[in-house]
């Protein structure tokens, strides 16, 4: 069965599979990649659990975090959607993370733009959000580049994060700025 997923010029999205475990384990063991995540680096057991959760989210909601590959081949990380309830409101987050070798090439903005446009074209959403550690400058730059603005600081899972958002009505026309 054909399942539409976001696409972009250089990147393709697909569901994660068991064979991706070594890539993910290596990425999640990298302290710089995990610097701003609750709990820091993840071991193999935690990485398996993370992978299983992606499949579970897909089965239940038809949206999840996807494996992100270069079109010429080679995983670079993940990008996709996480559902939240924050302060009693249902929200959809665009989330992204790349292995360190893939940083600084515009992949995160490219992938996040693809997810933004995919979501607004297909789903009835008031807005999309990103939850970002206040010191995670690279991530907040990605959020701003896709048209998000800082909405407020809030607590999620007991941690203080910046909530960036882009309203469906206010999304940029066909661009990344
Ligand atoms: C955040 C992350 C996905 C950015 O990926 P990336 O592909 O390097 O980002 P891009 O190349 O698309 O760059 C986006 C912007 O961030 C800037 N940027 C990238 N890395 C940066 C850094 N370490 N410090 C400051 N700015 C940075 C780029 O210069 C660019 O800015 P510009 O719009 O002014 O040109 C990547 O750093 C990462 O995977 N970090 C670890 C996981 C993580 O923190 N995920 C987000 C959780 S909320």
pLDDT digits (tens, 9 = 90+) for 88-122: 999 999 999 999 999 999 999 999 999 999 999 99
Q: Is 98 in the pocket of ligand 1 (CB under 6 A)?
A: yes
* Angstrom distance (rounded) from CA 81 to CA 58: 10
Q: How many CB atoms lie within 10 A of CB 43?
A: 11
CB of 109 within 8 A of CB of 146? yes
Given this structure, which CATH class describes domain 11-167? alpha beta
The gap between the terminal CA atoms of the chain, to the nearest Å, is 35
| Closest approach atom of ligand 1 to CA 105 | 11
32 CA → ligand 1 middle, Å: 12
Q: 15-58, pLDDT tens digit by residue?
A: 999 999 999 999 999 999 999 999 999 999 999 999 999 999 99
Ligand 1 near 11 CB (within 6 A): no
Atom of ligand 1 minimally distant from the CA of 133: 48
């Amino acid at each position: 069965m054909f399942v539409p997923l976001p696409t972009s010029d250089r990147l393709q999205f697909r569901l994660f599979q068991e064979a991706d475990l070594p890539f993910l384990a290596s990425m999640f063991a990298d302290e710089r990649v995990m610097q701003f995540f609750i709990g820091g680096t993840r071991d193999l057991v935690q990485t398996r659990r993370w992978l299983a959760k992606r499949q579970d989210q897909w089965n239940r909601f038809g949206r999840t975090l996807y494996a992100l590959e270069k079109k010429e081949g080679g995983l670079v990380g993940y990008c996709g959607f996480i559902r939240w309830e924050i302060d009693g409101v249902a929200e959809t987050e665009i989330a992204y993370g790349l292995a360190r070798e893939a940083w600084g090439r515009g992949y995160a903005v490219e992938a996040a733009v693809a997810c933004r446009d995919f979501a607004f074209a297909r789903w009835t959403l008031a807005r999309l959000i990103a939850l970002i550690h206040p010191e995670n400058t690279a991530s907040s730059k990605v959020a701003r580049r896709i048209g998000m603005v800082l909405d407020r600081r809030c607590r999620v899972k007991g941690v203080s994060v910046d909530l960036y958002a882009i309203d469906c009505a206010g999304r940029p026309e066909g661009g990344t700025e």
